[in-house]
Amino acid sequence: MKTETANKTQNVTEKTERITGSEAIIRCLIAEGVDILYGYPGGAIMPVYDELYKFKDQISHILTRHEQGAAHAAQGYARISGKVGVAMATSGPGATNLVTGIADAQIDSTPLVCITGQVASHLLGSDAFQETDIVGISTPVTKWNCQVTKASEIPEVLAKAFYIAKSGRPGPVLVDITKDAQFGELDFKYEKCKGVRSYKPVPDTDLEAVSKAAELINNAKKPFIVWGQGIILGQAEEQLKAVIEKAGIPSAWTILGASAIPTSHPLNVGMVGMHGNYAPNMMTNECDVLIAIGMRFDDRVTGNLSTYAKQAKIVHFEIDPAEVDKNVKTDVAVLGDAKSSLSALLPLLNENTHTEWHQKFKDLYAIEFEKVINDDINPTKEGLTMGEVLKQINIESKGNAAIVSDVGQHQMIACRYSEFNITKSNITSGGLGTMGFALPAAIGAKMAAPDREVVAIIGDGGYQMTIQELGTIFQNKVPVKIVVLNNEFLGMVRQWQQLFFDKRYASTEMTNPDFVTIAKGYYIEGKRVTKREELAAAVKEMIASKDAYFLEVCVEKEDNVFPMIPSGASVSDIRLS
């Protein structure tokens, strides 16, 4: 039985060979350019792992310590590389442990292909050992999924899986493969998928709609752009920058859109949303034309929809027709790829500066700086703040690090205060808000971009949800930097309890272990900082380290993250304290 692999530069294998289904799976991955996959073996996927062992010089498998860690690591890999991330698990609990990461990838438009083993086809539906209907379970949280019961189906299904995962608006795909399909034989030939009937991933750019959008923008006195991750996924950073600069439009970003344009750009006015910046939130209800690009009007961005930008004409640039008019009714919808649409828009725009309008953003930023930002990054109180930790990381990384944040107060602080000079630098769980995301996602990010500094910013709560992935870091010598901002609380929940539940801190205070000792148990160097005078040297040492490094910073227990838009309130009701 031959084991020649497909030429990576070609779409079709050079010859047909008789091989097993499990070998075909590995051949398909190699043909798709997969160099790393994350997973955890088990009985129903064991034939594939056996073949993987034979191809270990061509494709690396990273053994995570939990299948959820495999999914998140594949997400981190995909988010920083722009490639499809791959995760693999066995049937039953192995497959169900992937679901959180799959759901996270679905709502954040991350391209994943997840391969799960399944019991033999004659056992399907019999409640066999470690059998679950993972296709049924994952249907609501995948872009597409499929169960394979015959070896001959494997090449076509996997080719389709990779095409669907990465095309148009990306997303996760799950392929469930029965054990008999893995053992069965087929005449192997691999051809990359170039299209699927009735599936059009990228709508044709509507030039008439682009023209209408340009007319609205050119006539606007107070235009405002909000961009999202669609800019990054569509590789449209330069086109967005050109549009903003030519038309002189103040522009803000959603959490997942952060880093598409450098933080320091003079027309970058900050983050919108529940814990976003004061000016862009307030000016949403002052602008006369709101231009949304590659964002989906998430509820954390819009607040109360009945009061959201009612005075403005809405222009929505969007690749997914399902998102248009779903939450916010548009005046002009421009369907299509962000790069193509913005390229068509640019020559139609008039040059402008909107100096007086932009000054209003500057004035509101000055208010926020005085009442919030300065106290966060230049505190005078005794206890350490999360903001000053991020400031120190910016100093040492010079704004070039990829920041991978978990979910909670530290996430909002990391997104607000990180300096981003390079695109694809803010990797976080946006729509699903998955605690435990950051540590494994940072592993995947660092492996995808070994020349970049990757810093995970995590709270003491989320850290303990996937802390076992320190073993993956140690075994694979992944030089990721881990910062735990420890306030001994589930901080964001505690903040809500303080503000809206009369300080009834029900089940949010945490008694934590010795995190540094745990890190050292995994042979990872670590340090604990409790005083301000220790912080700068500790961060400097961490960034300078060539190996993995763990830094615990003990911050104020009851600090809150402001500004804040209360749940269900208008963006204009944003609170500074």
First-to-last alpha carbon distance for the chain, in angstroms, is 70
Residue type present at position 168: G
User: What phi, psi does 86 have (nearest 5°)?
Assistant: -125, 130
| List of residues 6+ apart from 177 with CB closer than 8 A | 21, 25, 48, 115, 116, 117, 118, 147, 148, 154
Candidate list 166, 179, 241, 424, residue with the active-site label = 179
Q: How many of the other CB atoms lie within 10 Å of CB of 367?
A: 14
Q: How many of the other CB atoms lie within 10 Å of CB of 451?
A: 5
Q: Which two tokens stand for residue 33?
A: 């350019």
Q: How many of the other CB atoms lie within 10 Å of CB of 503?
A: 10
* Contact present, 53 and 31 (Cβ < 8 Å): no
Q: Tell me whether residue 129 is one of the annotated catalytic residues.
A: yes
| Burial state string for 81-91 with b = 16 or more CB within 10 A and e = fewer than 16 | bbbbbbbbbbb
From CA 277, how far away is CA 574, in angstroms rounded? Answer: 9
Helix and strand counts by DSSP (H, E) for the chain: 24, 20
Per DSSP, the three-state class of 38 is: strand
Candidate list 271, 492, 542, 564, residue with the active-site label = 492
> Residue 225's closest CA among 239, 208, 209?
239
CA 159 from chain center: how many Å? 24
User: What phi, psi does 505 have (nearest 5°)?
Assistant: -85, 70
Q: Tell me whether residue 527 is one of the annotated catalytic residues.
A: no
Candidate list 17, 46, 58, 130, residue with the active-site label = 130
From CA 16, how far away is CA 186, in angstroms rounded? Answer: 9
* Contact present, 327 and 305 (Cβ < 8 Å): yes
List the beta bridge partners of residue 172. Answer: 112
- Element of type H or E holding 415: helix 409-417
From CA 519, how far away is CA 129, in angstroms rounded? Answer: 36
481-486 sheet: strands from edge to edge: 426-428, 402-405, 454-459, 481-486, 549-554, 525-529
Residue type present at position 544: A
Candidate list 67, 131, 323, 453, residue with the active-site label = 67
User: What phi, psi does 484 have (nearest 5°)?
Assistant: -105, 120
Candidate list 14, 129, 311, 398, residue with the active-site label = 129
Q: Tell me whether residue 130 is one of the annotated catalytic residues.
A: yes
| Burial state string for 227-265 with b = 16 or more CB within 10 A and e = fewer than 16 | bbbbbbbbebbebbbbbbeebbbbbbbbbbbbbbbbbee
| Burial state string for 51-69 with b = 16 or more CB within 10 A and e = fewer than 16 | bbeebeeebebbebbbbbb
Residues designated catalytic: 67, 129-130, 179, 492
